[in-house]
Amino acid sequence: MGDWADGYLENPPEDGLGLKAHEAFDWAPAPGTKGIFVFLSDSFVMPANAKRPDATSAWLTVAASKAGQEAFNPVKGSICARTDCDQSLFNEYLQSAGKDWSTDTVVGSLTHGVVANDAWKASIDTALGLFLADPTKVADFQAALVAACATDGACK
């Protein structure tokens, strides 16, 4: 699960479950992923033809500010996009995730469309589904991945 799960698990009731880290839950990298940080970024945007562009601009200014991120991220359960946030405001898990972000190899989330468009991801998912149905067909799986990339135009 994403960092948001920590916000839900640790925040007090009404917003979360009020659980204690290392007692009611813990965290670890998925097997085979140590040293890899998979990211997805929440995005706040200025819509075209916004009815209240000044209010939207004010929100975006706060959301991007150090104070805004230090207030929002610990409650949501996410790390700052900024590098100047006060890490003492974050719980142990988020401090750990922030350290991982700065030391691990950072890769975008395929599931959330960071590294492939929807058509390419659908082709990858189809290839993976066929492989999971018959894991002895490794060559077919590899060929399907190559074809998916070639069809999308990303692999040259």
Q: Please give the pLDDT value at position 15.
A: 85
- Mean pLDDT, residues 84-92 taken together: 95
At position 138, the amino acid (one-letter code) is: V
Q: How many Å apart are CA 123 and CA 145, to the nearest integer?
A: 8
Residue 149, pLDDT score? 84
Confidence of residue 153 (pLDDT cuts 50, 70, 90): low
pTM of the model: 0.78
pLDDT at 36: 95
Distance (Å, whole) CA 62 – CA 156: 42
**What is the structure's pLDDT at 65?**
96
Q: Specify the pLDDT at position 34.
A: 93
Q: What is the per-residue pLDDT for 156?
A: 67
pLDDT at 40: 87
**In the predicted structure, residue 2 carries a pLDDT above the cut 90:** no
Mean pLDDT estimate for the chain: 91
Instruction: State the burial class of residue 116 (Cβ atoms within 10 Å of its Cβ: 0-12, 13-18, 19+).
Output: buried
pLDDT in tens, 38-70: 998 888 888 899 899 999 999 999 999 999 999
Q: Are residues 110 and 124 in contact, defined by beta-carbon separation less than 8 angstroms?
A: yes
DSSP 1: -
